[in-house]
Structure 1
Amino acid sequence: MRNRIILIGAIVFIGFWFGARATRPVNKKSKTQTARELWNDPRSRKARKKLGKKIAKAAKH
């Protein structure tokens, strides 16, 4: 009887586990698309521009 309860509990847990994972969105972006989005991000553009100015200033001295 105890083994049957453990077995039913394990089946319920596995069913809950797969049910919880089934509702997650699937990410189907390619690595190049992700890299392109990160490159075109306004914050990273601003950071690259600031870094370029900093390097240019350091090169003058």
Structure 2
Amino acid sequence: MRNRIIVIAAIVLIGFWFGVRANRTVIKQSKGETARKMWNDPHARKSRKKLGKKIAKAAKKHR
């Protein structure tokens, strides 16, 4: 009897898990949209700005 309850509980949990996962929407983005989001990311902008300053400083130094 105990084994039967454990098996039923396991089946219920697995069914619940699949049910929860089934209604998730899949959002597909184009590569262009992904690239635009990465380009407009504030952290990426800041790092590009820092890199630009670093390159300008190095170019000024080597003249």
TM range (shorter): 0.5 to 0.7
Structure 2 counterpart of 1:49? 49
**1:26 Cα deviation from its structure 2 partner:** 2.2
Residue 41 (structure 1) shift: 2.3
What amino acid is the match of 1:14? I
The percent of aligned pairs where both chains have the same amino acid is 74
**TM-score with structure 1 length normalisation?**
0.68
Please, which runs of 5 or more residues in structure 2 have no aligned partner?
Answer: none
What secondary structure, in the 3-state scheme, does the structure 1 residue paired with 2:28 have? coil
Q: Aligned residues, how many?
A: 61
Q: Give the drift of 1:32.
A: 4.0
- Corresponding residue for residue 2 of structure 2: 2
Name the SS of the counterpart of 2:27 in structure 1: coil
CA–CA distance in 2 between the matches of 1:11 and 1:42?
46
Tell me the TM-score normalised to structure 2 length: 0.66
Aligned to 1:37: 37
Task: Structure 1 unaligned segments of length 5 or more: list them.
Answer: none
State the distance in 2 between where 1:43 and 1:34 align.
15
User: How far apart, in 1, do the equivalents of 2:32 and 2:17 lie?
Assistant: 32
2:20 paired residue number: 20
